[in-house]
Chain A
Amino acid sequence: MSQTCGGCEHFVVAADELEREVAGLKILSSAYGSVRANTGLCRLHDIFCVPEHGCTGWRQPPLRRP
């Protein structure tokens, strides 16, 4: 797995999860809109970034049981 935000445990990019993380986002906006593209939230640094970014705090997500 590549060590970029896209593959990091701290990165929140799914629209439903992002709307839960950022209270009020869906009032006059939406995480499902084109303008967000694939911007996500890094829970570690509390900043917005895209999957291609990365940092030294990268952590592998827990493996999902089949």
Chain B
Amino acid sequence: MAPPLGIKALWLKEDWWAIWIGLTVVCLGIALFLNDSTMLKSLAVNPGGIKWATLDQLFDHFGKNADKYVVQFVVFATIFGVTSAIMGIKLQRFLAGFAFLYLLSVCMFAVGGWVNAAKYNLEPPLVALVVGLLLANFVPLPKIFDDAFRVEYYVKLGIVLLGATFPITLVVTAGPVAIGQATIISLLTATTIYFLATRVFKLDRRLGAVLSVGGAVCGVSGSMAIAASVGAKREHIYTSVTLVVVWALIMILVLPFVSQALELPAGVAGAWIGTSEFADAAGFAAASTYGKMVGHEDVSIKAFTLMKVIGRDLWIGIWSLVWALIATTQWEKKETGSRPGIGEIWHRFPKFVIGFFIASTIVTLFTQGYDVDTLKKVVKPAVMDPMGALRGWAFIFCFLSIGLTTRFRELKAVSRGALLAFSIGVGVNVVAGYILSVHVFGAYWAALQ
């Protein structure tokens, strides 16, 4: 239905920029390592791992690394500022907000680096979310800052960088289970919400459609992907925004603690969060929080990524095509319009996932030439760890931005029927996700390293 933007998408869509930046970092990181340079390590500096006990220790760290932080800020601001400007965001506005976001992020890492942070559940993703929410709702921040709070851009770049620490062999072996589980969840949740919305609560079927895909696949992005296919109204997307945001925030705050109470292994909890959360950014916040709680952040993030990014996000284009077919063949004829084609799956495909696969393949091939000992003692600390730290920066920008963009007073009211249909769908999603992650495929997710 929707033809592609053509070659312009390569510089007008943040998915492609996430790929260009992420893959440049990966290739540059390998090249620097091969030339005995420690530049990547310097660029990834953060106070998250210093385990400071007194403020003197913290300030000592900043004093010793001040030059690195200055370079880091300049590099980050240049990369995000210039690419955002190319996409159409005014550079001065972006830089003003980004300077604020960067300083806040340094503070979040500093909190996470406190020796007692874990004792008080001060996990950086949760702290970032809560601080962002408090600032957005109780402090009158300048509106121009908003242009730098780009939740999706940061999380997409983080996902591409995540590929660098994710063996492609794991994607190949674990992919089928993740896709199988995601398929069950996607179909079950979408049909539940659509049936309840249209048959039980008698809502507009266009609203039922956008809510069903929002709940089953990818939140507001899923709803937007099919909005044109079904001719959704603006108020339908408002309803999706309100319900997705409220439920996504509730689950970020609840799922890690419920997983902890149930003593779920990190891989199992990551898969459960991946089947329960709709938005990638919110899900990463929850999975990262739980991973930090139990000391296996990499495992919970890997399980979440397999389940959500590889399993569920692939459904976006398929649902868009399905709804376009239903709307044009089963619903009333529109005034004009074009027949949906199979190309719809590609047009709506979340392209950043390609970057994840390529980064994973590059690093897997690069590490093939090293024995296990060299890999662990030399290559990992110099290549994979700094890339992981840069991913941490992208994610902390994202988690803060979730809070900073969520102004509850701006969310629109929703009807009782929409609230119930979506909420019951969320319940089905969470329960089915739990059964699949803990009981059906539990042994598999628990064994994830």
**A residues within 8 Å of B by Cβ?**
4, 14-16, 21-30, 32-41, 46-50, 52-56
Contact check: which of B5, B88, B151, B351 meets A26 at CB < 8 Å? Answer: B151
Q: Which residues of A contact B234 (CB under 8 A)?
A: 21-22, 41, 46-48
Among B14, B336, B337: residue with most chain A CB under 10 A = B336
Nearest Cβ in chain A — how far from B91, in angstroms? 13
A48:B232 contact, CB within 8 angstroms: yes
Q: Does B67 contact A (CB under 8 A)?
A: no
Contact check: which of A4, A32, A47 meets B232 at CB < 8 Å? Answer: A47
Q: Which residues of B contact A48 (CB under 8 A)?
A: 224, 227-228, 231-234, 237
28 pairs, CB–CB < 8 Å, chain A vs chain B: A15-B12, A16-B89, A22-B238, A23-B410, A24-B220, A24-B241, A24-B242, A24-B245, A24-B411, A25-B241, A27-B151, A28-B220, A28-B245, A28-B282, A28-B402, A29-B152, A30-B221, A33-B14, A34-B351, A37-B4, A37-B225, A38-B3, A38-B5, A47-B231, A48-B232, A49-B228, A52-B1, A52-B338
**B residues within 8 Å of A by Cβ?**
1-5, 9, 12-16, 87-89, 149-153, 156, 218-222, 224-225, 227-228, 231-235, 237-238, 241-242, 244-245, 248, 279, 281-282, 316-317, 334-338, 347-352, 402, 405-406, 410-412
Nearest Cβ in chain B — how far from A13, in angstroms? 10
Nearest Cβ in chain A — how far from B405, in angstroms? 5
Q: Which residues of B contact A49 (CB under 8 A)?
A: 228, 231
Nearest Cβ in chain B — how far from A56, in angstroms? 7
Complex CA gap A31/B54 in Å reads 44
Q: Which residues of B contact A35 (CB under 8 A)?
A: 218, 221-222, 224-225, 316-317, 348-350
Complex CA gap A26/B220 in Å reads 9
Q: Which residues of A contact B351 (CB under 8 A)?
A: 34
B224:A29 contact, CB within 8 angstroms: yes
Q: How many A-B residue pairs have CB under 8 A?
A: 157
Q: Which residues of A contact B242 (CB under 8 A)?
A: 24
Nearest Cβ in chain A — how far from B81, in angstroms? 15
A37:B347 contact, CB within 8 angstroms: yes
Nearest Cβ in chain A — how far from B322, in angstroms? 15
Q: Which residues of B contact A55 (CB under 8 A)?
A: 335-336
11 further contact pairs, Cβ within 8 A, besides A37-B225, A38-B4, A48-B234:
A16-B88, A22-B238, A28-B244, A29-B219, A30-B153, A34-B350, A36-B224, A37-B2, A38-B2, A48-B231, A53-B335
Contact check: which of A24, A26, A39 meets B150 at CB < 8 Å? Answer: A26
Among A22, A26, A29, A40: residue with most chain B CB under 10 A = A29
B238:A23 contact, CB within 8 angstroms: yes
Contact check: which of B9, B237, B279 meets A34 at CB < 8 Å? Answer: B9
CB-CB nearest 10 A-B residue pairs: A29-B220, A30-B152, A48-B227, A24-B241, A28-B279, A34-B15, A39-B228, A50-B2, A32-B14, A35-B225
Nearest Cβ in chain A — how far from B409, in angstroms? 10
B14:A39 contact, CB within 8 angstroms: no
Nearest Cβ in chain A — how far from B80, in angstroms? 13
A25:B237 contact, CB within 8 angstroms: yes
Q: Which residues of B contact A16 (CB under 8 A)?
A: 88-89
Q: Which residues of A contact B238 (CB under 8 A)?
A: 22-24
Complex CA gap A43/B30 in Å reads 49
Nearest Cβ in chain B — how far from A4, in angstroms? 8
Name the residue on A nearest B406 (C-beta): A27
Q: Which residues of A contact B244 (CB under 8 A)?
A: 28
Q: Which residues of B contact A50 (CB under 8 A)?
A: 1-3, 228, 338
Q: Which residues of A contact B248 (CB under 8 A)?
A: 28
Q: Which residues of B contact A29 (CB under 8 A)?
A: 151-152, 219-221, 224, 241, 279
Name the residue on B nearest A40 (C-beta): B228
Nearest Cβ in chain B — how far from A8, in angstroms? 12
Q: Which residues of A contact B352 (CB under 8 A)?
A: 34
Nearest Cβ in chain B — how far from A54, in angstroms? 5
Known: A15-B87, A32-B153. A27 touches B220 (CB 8 A): yes
Q: Which residues of A contact B15 (CB under 8 A)?
A: 33-34
Q: Which residues of B contact A56 (CB under 8 A)?
A: 335
Nearest Cβ in chain A — how far from B290, in angstroms? 19
Q: Which residues of A contact B232 (CB under 8 A)?
A: 47-48
Nearest Cβ in chain B — how far from A47, in angstroms? 5
Q: Which residues of A contact B336 (CB under 8 A)?
A: 4, 53-55
A37:B231 contact, CB within 8 angstroms: no
Complex CA gap A29/B407 in Å reads 15
